[in-house]
């Protein structure tokens, strides 16, 4: 790897992978990098790993506060669901654990909160405790994923939008949207361009239609959405695999499914092709204690490999650029 040096000559930049991403490390004696420079490098690279800065929870919060003007408390989060709900660990609820108490299952690649309009521009990760084995966060540049698909599948995804459909009991929408007030739920849905159908038993059907791919620079598109994760989750619930992992906390039916806009199921052949392209573009972040990573949620998907043991503590913050 050819290490280069930033203009301040205090930091080294090296590639995270041959395809995309960067690692930023301090030169001896250097302190934290300039937040504006980190944001510039992060957006240029798509994913930026800050290594060797020995972040603690407090310095992670302070530093990210200087990088992003706003943070989300994950209101409407699709993975805010029973055993998968996140713990809030500070900074007004914007520092969160990942997917509840168990991390023993892999999380397929996804863009964060692509099932609603208000979503983070940046996903921040902070490794408080690296797992002894496995448990890497995965990242894949959606532009590369899209470019590795067949022309036919690319055309299908460019011409067909996808529909995210949530069927939530009263307790479950209250958990996800962090309110038990139907009026507030309606306001959140309106702000997100989501349709809401509230039934007499207070269960709710919430739908959102969005592209599967998004323009990303000149003549390029990025495949970034929540389709792979939700498609795999639906299969896991239907097959019973979810119960095997989550036990009593597993849903009896999927809390959210993904379809084409007209309601048709997305053919397995297309999903498998997307998964294969995503796998081939996947880069693993092998965590060390004190690492921080920035992932540009507008073009780069993220996920997680299965974790062995219970020592992994990787925290998340969802940032916005304005």
Considering beta carbons, is residue 32 or 278 the nearer one to Fe ion?
278
Considering beta carbons, is residue 33 or 108 the nearer one to Fe ion?
108
The reply to whether 232 sits near Fe ion by the rule CB under 5 A is no
Which burial class, exposed, middle or buried, applies to 161 when counting CB atoms under 10 A from its CB (0-12, 13-18, 19+)?
middle
Q: Which residues pair with 72 in a beta bridge?
A: 318
Considering beta carbons, is residue 112 or 291 the nearer one to Fe ion?
112
Q: How far is the CB of 113 from Fe ion (least distance, A)?
A: 8
The beta strand positions in the chain, using DSSP E, are 4-5, 11-15, 22-26, 47-50, 70-72, 107-110, 122-129, 133-134, 137-141, 162-168, 195-198, 204-210, 213-215, 221-223, 256-260, 283-285, 292-296, 300-304, 307-308, 313-320
- Contact indicator for 90, 82 with CB cutoff of 8 Å: no
- Number of residues engaging Fe ion in binding (CB under 5 A): 1
Task: Single out the segment in contact with Fe ion by CB under 5 A; choices: 8-16, 30-38, 109-117, 201-209.
Answer: 109-117
Q: How far is the CB of 255 from Fe ion (least distance, A)?
A: 15
Task: Single out the segment in contact with Fe ion by CB under 5 A; choices: 104-112, 135-143, 210-218, 282-290.
Answer: 104-112
Q: How far is the CB of 302 from Fe ion (least distance, A)?
A: 6
- How far apart CA 97 and CA 118 sit, in angstroms, is 20
Task: Single out the segment in contact with Fe ion by CB under 5 A; choices: 112-120, 136-144, 150-158, 307-315.
Answer: 112-120
Q: How far is the CB of 175 from Fe ion (least distance, A)?
A: 17
Among 76, 112, 125, 216, indicate the residue that binds Fe ion (CB under 5 A). Answer: 112
Residue in the shown chain whose Cβ atom is closest to Fe ion: 112
Q: Both tokens of residue 279?
A: 């796998």
Q: Regarding beta strands 133-134 and 307-308, do their DSSP bridges make them parallel or antiparallel, or are they unpaired?
A: antiparallel
Considering beta carbons, is residue 112 or 232 the nearer one to Fe ion?
112
Which burial class, exposed, middle or buried, applies to 224 when counting CB atoms under 10 A from its CB (0-12, 13-18, 19+)?
buried
Considering beta carbons, is residue 119 or 143 the nearer one to Fe ion?
119
**Which residues here bind Fe ion, judged by CB under 5 A?**
112
């Amino acid at each position: 790897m050819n290490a280069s040096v930033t203009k301040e000559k205090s930091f080294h930049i090296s590639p995270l992978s041959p395809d995309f991403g960067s690692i930023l490390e301090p030169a001896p004696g250097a302190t934290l990098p300039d937040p504006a420079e980190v944001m510039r490098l992060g957006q240029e690279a798509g994913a930026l790993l800050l290594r060797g800065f020995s972040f603690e929870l407090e310095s992670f919060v302070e530093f990210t506060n200087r990088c992003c003007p706003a943070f989300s408390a994950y209101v409407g989060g699709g993975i805010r669901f029973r055993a998968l709900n996140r713990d809030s660990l500070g900074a007004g609820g914007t520092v969160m654990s990942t997917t509840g108490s168990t991390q023993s299952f892999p999380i397929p690649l996804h863009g964060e909160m692509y099932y609603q309009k208000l979503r983070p521009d940046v996903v921040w990760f902070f490794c408080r405790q690296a797992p002894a084995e496995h448990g890497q966060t995965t990242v894949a540049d959606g532009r590369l994923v899209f470019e590795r698909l067949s022309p036919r599948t690319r055309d299908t995804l460019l011409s067909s939008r996808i529909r995210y459909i949530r069927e939530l009991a009263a307790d479950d929408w209250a958990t996800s949207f962090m309110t038990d007030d139907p009026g507030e739920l309606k306001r959140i849905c309106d702000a997100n361009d989501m349709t809401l159908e509230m039934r007499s038993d207070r269960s709710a059907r919430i739908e959102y239609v969005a592209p599967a791919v998004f323009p990303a620079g000149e003549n390029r598109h990025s495949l970034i959405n929540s389709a792979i994760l939700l498609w795999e989750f639906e299969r896991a619930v239907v097959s019973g695999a979810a119960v095997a992992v989550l036990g009593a906390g597993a849903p009896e039916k999927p809390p959210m499914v993904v379809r084409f806009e007209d309601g048709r199921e997305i053919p397995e052949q297309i999903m498998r092709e997307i998964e294969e392209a995503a796998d081939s573009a996947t880069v693993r972040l092998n965590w060390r204690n004190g690492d921080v990573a920035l992932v540009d949620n507008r073009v780069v998907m993220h996920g997680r490999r299965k974790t062995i043991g219970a020592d992994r503590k990787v925290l998340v913050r969802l940032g916005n650029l304005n």
